[in-house]
Amino acid sequence: MSDSTGSQLPPGSLPPSRIEAHHSKDDAIKDLFGVPSRPVVRTATAPQFIANDDELEESEGMPLPSAGRQRSQNPAVIVPAPRVPTNLKETGLGLGAMAEFVLKELYIHGNMFGADIARQLRLPFPILDEALRFLKDQRCVEVSQGDLLGRVSYRFSLTDMGRVRARECFESCRYAGPAPVTLEQYVEQCRRQAVSGVYCHPQTIMQAFQGMVLKPGLLDEIGPAVCSGRSIFVYGPPGNGKTMIAKGLGRYLNLYCGEIYVPYAIQTENSIITVFDPILHKTTDDAEQPTTGNPAQTTSAGYNTSSGSLVVGNGVADPRWRRIRRPVVITGGELTLDMLELQYSKVSQFYAAPLHIKANGGVFLIDDFGRQLVSPRDLLNRWILPLEERIDYLTLATGRKFSVPFEQLTIFSTNLDPGDLVDDAFLRRIRHKIKIEAPSRPLFTEIFKMACEQRQIIFREEAVEYLYSNHYDRGRLPRSSDPRDLLEIVVAICRFRNIAVEVSQKLIADAAARFFYTG
């Protein structure tokens, strides 16, 4: 079992799942425990590839800035953390739901200290203790070992009746792990950490793009787009830095707009939707995560000997949430309409959030727009309402719809003519349109120099002169990515010939002959 994203038991460990309507789960738990399984939230109006800062590599011929690897030092931007619940009501979960999660953990692990149950569910022990007392009264849980530190140090295990009821819980939904937050709690936190109206001015955005060679005036176009938090349409010939602009914006958000919080899972309409993705979300709170073990030996991990309770995490933020760097989620030609909807598993009977929801609070780049398997018109129709209203509507397997925030900086990037892809109605909803053109010769020369410096190669003007006289002045458009690609070929040729790496005219000619397609 994974305690970060929920888990599914291995095949054969439980009886075959029976797929039931979600409302029948309420009835089943009510029959089992005599209380509703969880409060039902009904609201219709509530408000691949990933590149994080440490994973961003040189792309499109423009080097990475060293500032992109620094943590934000701007004390003015601190995203408020979700408040730690102090009682069951503040979690948003009912007693039946909490008992259900406890049963699942004990079924998976056999017997557990009270402290370890709290750590697995990411909730303070006094909240879980109410569910443990209830399950003991229902003869589902027994105490197999006690300790002088109090109930948090008791070792709990399931009775035969408890194991039967745990199986029934798994048949309804196989999610196990950190307790979910409610949809309302998720919406509230998303609004606190939205990208709209973020802090931005010329000096700060230059810091995020420091080390890149950009055409004059480009940051003056990017800056207002960041301030608005609205969508951006970036277009122009390939290989000139459109993807790097999106990554640079992600660095800017992380430098000056604070870290954000993402829940392990949310709950709505009696359904569980996992949101935290360890591949897409880069955590910054790993040192604060709880560890397992006997509370008598791990008092520094959060056990309060004076109050007899357990504080999970740092005691400041709700541990059902992870603190992360603002994500930069990139999707390309593989994007389909199904990827923008909830991903439901009929075996596990819970959902995974779509990509754009996992990108909330960060940057969502639709790269190579117009080359997806789905037509541009269908894809744009899917985006019209979210771009305009900043909310999106998702549909459960039961047919019920609910709204979620659409709070990311959405960037469409294409090499094609925008007039051939979209109509005026859609272009109106994309507030900022930035054209990235082929670099001028002075700009190309600066990019070539920087690419040489990165590889510790001595720059020679004759290499640029050869490229222009034999290729670019004869009709081929220069690209910002050409210096990087040509130098990679030069390095490979020199390694094969066992000679020193240099950018002589002959080596550049050999590299160009391999790289440029002449038909």
- Tell me, letter by letter, the H, E, C secondary structure of 243-277: HHHHHHHHHHHHHHCCCEEEECEEEECCEEEECCC
Residues 180 and 264: beta-carbon distance below 8 Å: yes
What is the pLDDT at residue 52? 40
* 242 domain residue, yes or no: yes
Same domain, 472 and 384: no
* 45 domain residue, yes or no: no
Determine the 3-state secondary structure of 119 from DSSP: helix
Q: What CA–CA distance (Å, rounded) separates 108 from 99? A: 14
Residues 103 and 162: beta-carbon distance below 8 Å: yes
Residues 237 and 438: beta-carbon distance below 8 Å: yes
* 80 domain residue, yes or no: no
Task: Tell me the average pLDDT across 217-240.
Answer: 87
Q: Using CB atoms within 10 A of its CB, is residue 300 exposed (0-12), middle (13-18) or buried (19+)?
A: exposed
Same domain, 250 and 387: yes
Ranked by mean pLDDT, which of 38-42, 139-143, 203-207, 251-255 comes out on top? Answer: 139-143
Residue bearing the bigger pLDDT, 379 or 480: 480
CATH number of the domain where residue 156 is located: 1.10.10.10
Residue 178 has φ and ψ, to the nearest 5°, of -55, 140
The answer, yes or no, to whether residue 33 has pLDDT greater than 70, is no
Q: How many CB atoms lie within 10 A of CB 119?
A: 27
Q: Please count the structural domains in the chain.
A: 3
Residues facing 268 on adjacent strands = 271
Last residue of a domain, one of 177, 210, 230: 177
What is the pLDDT at residue 196? 80
Same domain, 326 and 385: yes
* 47 domain residue, yes or no: no
CATH number of the domain where residue 446 is located: 1.10.8
Same domain, 415 and 497: no
**Host domain of residue 407:** 186-283+315-435
* 83 domain residue, yes or no: no
Last residue of a domain, one of 400, 435, 470: 435
Which helix (H) or strand (E) segment holds residue 411: the answer is strand 409-414
Residue bearing the bigger pLDDT, 228 or 481: 481
Residues 408 and 331: beta-carbon distance below 8 Å: no
Same domain, 134 and 212: no
pLDDT digits over 80-115, tens only?
899 999 999 999 999 999 999 999 999 999 889 999
pLDDT band at 447 (very low <50, low <70, confident <90, very high): very high
* 373 domain residue, yes or no: yes
The answer, yes or no, to whether residue 417 has pLDDT greater than 90, is no
Best CA proximity match to 60, nearest among 475, 507, 450? 450
Determine the 3-state secondary structure of 437 from DSSP: coil
Same domain, 266 and 139: no
What is the pLDDT at residue 74? 47
pLDDT digits over 233-244, tens only?
899 888 888 888
Please give the C-alpha separations between residue 238 and each of 241, 263, 329, in angstroms, as whole numbers.
8, 37, 20
What is the pLDDT at residue 147? 66
Nearest 5°: the CA angle 120, 186, 251 is 95
For residue 76, the 8-state DSSP code is T
* 58 domain residue, yes or no: no
CATH number of the domain where residue 191 is located: 3.40.50.300
Task: Tell me the average pLDDT across 475-480.
Answer: 92
Same domain, 270 and 328: yes
Last residue of a domain, one of 177, 201, 221: 177
Same domain, 117 and 212: no
Which helix (H) or strand (E) segment holds residue 113: the answer is strand 111-113
Helix 95-109 with 160-172: angle, nearest 10 deg: 110
Residue with tokens 């009501």, as numbered in its chain: 89
Residue 280 has φ and ψ, to the nearest 5°, of -90, -30
* 14 domain residue, yes or no: no
Nearest 5°: the CA angle 332, 336, 338 is 140
Same domain, 135 and 211: no
Same domain, 120 and 170: yes
Same domain, 160 and 204: no
Same domain, 127 and 103: yes
Best CA proximity match to 275, nearest among 365, 182, 196? 182
Mean pLDDT (the chain) is: 80
